[in-house]
Each structure stands twice: as structure tokens, then as C-alpha cells.
Amino acid sequence: RAKERGRNRYEFFTAEINERVQQRIMLESRLRLAVLRSEFVLHYQPIVEAGGRRPVALEALLRWRQPDGTLVGPGHFICVAEEVGLIGEIGAWVIETAIRETADLFGKEASAPRVAVNVSPRQLRDPSFVFRVTEALAAHGLPPSRLELEITEGVLMDEAPEVTDALHRLCSYGVRLSIDDFGTGYSSLSYLQRYPFDMLKIDRCFVSNATDGAAAARLVETIIMMAHGLGMETIAEGVETEEQFDFLQSKGCDQMQGYLLGHPAPLAEIAARFPAADAPSARPLETVTGDG
């Protein structure tokens, strides 16, 4: 009987693994089609100045609009796109689109809001990456300082020389670099001196704990002080309450991002909230709702 039960379990796991493999293969082929059919759109989430709450940047967040109208978030497909080698093509589309839409929305003045774009490890290792970025900026007349590239620290783990090289070249070109999700994954403080980051994004998990206890609060305060000490600005991610906002502001955090300040939204909605494209940072943001 024990043997029989063992076999049943074995068959059960095999069936489950088969199903997962099938789903992976289906997702992969649907993704390839999505690239061919341009089924991607960008949503944008405001990043505001701590004092005054004026928008200083928008973060571009990728969505996959499937033929039936369903919007799929990046958490469901970025990993697969990286594994099957589609991220280069998707990422190039994201950068080009984010630059074009931002130039259309806010104009080409150096002082208008920036656009922040997330970048995957695979993209940075591609020798044509830096060229593509500078070409897209030039094509749309956007000053390099209006583009911010967000890099997750895990990415830098492998210390690939081409990654270091790409980051230094982008930095000397005037593109701004930020370290995303700081404090999660493979944190290493040595990255902060090895790579030319302009900003540090404090991960949401620290922000949500910050107002819960003295130790968590000191941790956030210390991260902000350290970033400033190294000449970086700080952005808090996932700010959802006024209490979190006030706390972070009192500790000197420079910029805030999160549902409190605005959900990611389609370009049309963002454009409606910033009617005067010529006078961007004219009025404070109201809290709005939208999709996550």
C-alpha cells in the first residue's frame, strides 16, 4: 500500500510538472507573438518632491495588453522574457516609447519632469545598449538628464565588466542612474561606490515598516543618511499613507512614490492630470485612484 501511495504521489508530481512545462511553453509562444503584434503599453506613475509634492519624474511600468483586453503586469512575464532572450527587444521598445511619450507630454526642456525606466541585466550586457539609448534620446530631442535608468542591485552581482562600462558611459553621457529596490536581494554596499548612481530607491518593504517601530524607523533613517553621505538622492517606494510620507519627509527623504501620490496609469490619464505640458510642475498632485 505504501508503494502504491508512493506511485500515486509520483504520478501526481509528474502531472503537475508537465502542466507547468506546458504553461511555460504556451507563455513563451504567446510572448513571442506579443512582440510581433506590439501588444505592450506603458503606464506611468508619478514620483514627487517631498516638499511641495510636485511631480519630478514618471516611472514607466510595462503592461502587456492581451488580445482579449486583459492587462498583464510585468511580474508575470519579465522573467520569462529574460530567460528566452526576448527582453532585449521588449526593453528597447520600452526605452524608445518612454522617451518619445515623455518628450510629447512634457516637451524638451531640461527642467521638465524626467522619465524613469527599469532595465534588466540582460539589456546592460548587450553591447548595443548604450548606443540605442543615446540614439533614442537624440531622435526625440530629449536631454539625457531627463532619462533615469533604474537598476536592481541583484543585477550587478556578477560584476560583468561590460555592465560597469555601460553604466559609466551612460553616466558620462548625462543619463541619471538609480539603484532600485535598495536593501533587498543581493545587497552589497560596495556597489554604491563601484557604480555611479545618482539616486537610491528605498524598497517598499522598508517604507511600509518604517512607521511600525523604532528599529525599522532608524533603519530607514540610516539608509537616507548613508545615501546623502555618498552624494545620492533618495526616493521612497510604495508610500501609501500620510503617516509614512510625513515620517520620510522628516528624515530628509528627497522624493516619494506610491499609491498615496498616484497609481500607475495609462498615458492619456497622466496627460489629463498634467494639462499644461509647458508648465509642468505647476500644481501639487491630488491623490487619485487607478489600477495597480
Question: Which spans of this chain sit near ligand C2E (rule: CB under 6 A)?
Answer: 45, 61-62, 73-75, 78, 91, 94, 118-120, 150, 180-181, 204, 237-238, 240, 258-259, 264, 292
| C-alpha pair distances (Å), 175 with each of 67, 115, 137, 216, 255 | 35, 11, 10, 33, 18
Run of H or E residues at 204:
helix 204-209
- What's the rounded Cα separation, in Å, for the pair 222 and 227? 9
Residues 73-132 that bind Mg ion (CB under 5 A): 118
The whole-angstrom distance between residue 90's C-alpha and the CA centroid of its chain comes to 14
Among 150, 153, 233, 254, contact with Mg ion (rule: CB under 5 A) = 150
User: CB under 5 to 8 A by kind: which of Mg ion, ligand C2E, none does 97 bind?
Assistant: none
Q: Which is nearer to Mg ion, 50 or 62 (CB)?
A: 62
* Burial letters 257-276, b for 16+ CB under 10 A, else e: bbbbbbbbbbbebbbebbee
Query: Per CB under 5 A, does 148 bind Mg ion?
Result: no
* Burial letters 59-76, b for 16+ CB under 10 A, else e: bbbbbbeeeeeeebebee
User: CB under 5 to 8 A by kind: which of Mg ion, ligand C2E, none does 61 bind?
Assistant: ligand C2E
Nearest to 97 by CA among 133, 72, 151, 122: 133
Output the residue with the shortest Cβ distance to ligand C2E: 258
φ, ψ for residue 97, nearest 5 deg: -65, -45
Q: Which is nearer to ligand C2E, 55 or 91 (CB)?
A: 91
Please return the burial class of 198, using the count of CB atoms within 10 Å of its CB with bins 0-12, 13-18 and 19+.
Answer: middle
Q: Which is nearer to ligand C2E, 252 or 292 (CB)?
A: 292
User: CB under 5 to 8 A by kind: which of Mg ion, ligand C2E, none does 167 bind?
Assistant: none
- What's the rounded Cα separation, in Å, for the pair 183 and 83? 25
User: CB under 5 to 8 A by kind: which of Mg ion, ligand C2E, none does 262 bind?
Assistant: none
Q: Which is nearer to ligand C2E, 73 or 266 (CB)?
A: 73
Cβ 246 to ligand C2E, closest distance in Å? 15
Supply the DSSP symbol for 278: S
Cβ 150 to ligand C2E, closest distance in Å? 6
Cβ 60 to Mg ion, closest distance in Å? 9
Among 101, 148, 181, 233, contact with Mg ion (rule: CB under 5 A) = 181
Binding segment (CB under 5 A) for Mg ion, from list 33-41, 76-84, 179-187, 244-252 = 179-187
The whole-angstrom distance between residue 5's C-alpha and the CA centroid of its chain comes to 47
Residues that bind Mg ion (CB under 5 A): 118, 150, 180-181, 237
